[in-house]
Amino acid sequence: MGEYVPAGLANIDTLGALLVQYGNVISIKKRGHEAEISRPTKMRWHKVAAVPLGKLTAFHIAQYRDDRLQQVSTTTVKKELQLISHALDIDRREWGLNVKNLAADVSKQVEPKGRDRRLEFGEEQSLLNAVSQSQNIWLAPLVEVAIETAMRRGELLSVEW
């Protein structure tokens, strides 16, 4: 007699399938779920997503890390590896599938020091002149508010009257 596997977990046979299930069940409950749900969607296009969980090795994840470092920042790759690691942990601890957290064995790159850049003399006016030439009538006021408040893009776009 076979083991009982809940219906939603029966199709988790690859890392890509695991990331989809993780997004649907775990990520959706998080505060920043929009960004976290988009991350596995992008990750599923990489060849590592097609690797069966039973054949997944730390080498596969390290190869994914190295490929992604050619395309995106160290911080993005670190977040993606953390997501893979957490998905594998949830898979093992809560969903009862026997998969080792191989992402924990893969070394992470050291993140660069954060930016501390300020507009230099004359740059603000050059920036304002450039955005005033845009066909988007909201760009110049948005940039002015950003300069005055130091708000980030997400904060600016979520402002309500």
Model confidence over 82-122: pLDDT tens digits? 989 988 998 888 887 777 888 888 888 777 777 778 888 99
Domain count across the chain: 2
Q: What's the pTM value of the predicted model, to 2 decimals?
A: 0.64
Q: Is residue 117 part of a domain?
A: no
Residues 135 and 85 in one domain: no
Which residue segment(s) compose the domain that 152 sits in? 123-157
The verdict on residue 118 lying in a domain is no
Q: CATH number, domain at 42? A: 1.10.150
- Position 33 in a domain: yes
- For 128-154, b/e burial (b = at least 16 CB within 10 A) is eeebeeeeeeeebebbeeeeeeeeeee
Higher pLDDT pick, 41 / 5: 41
130 part of a folded domain: yes
Q: Is residue 44 part of a domain?
A: yes
Contacts of 104 (CB under 8 A, 6+ apart): 85
Cα–Cα distance measured from residue 19 to residue 89, given in angstroms and rounded to the nearest whole number: 12
Closest C-alpha to 65, from 20, 102, 17, 14: 102
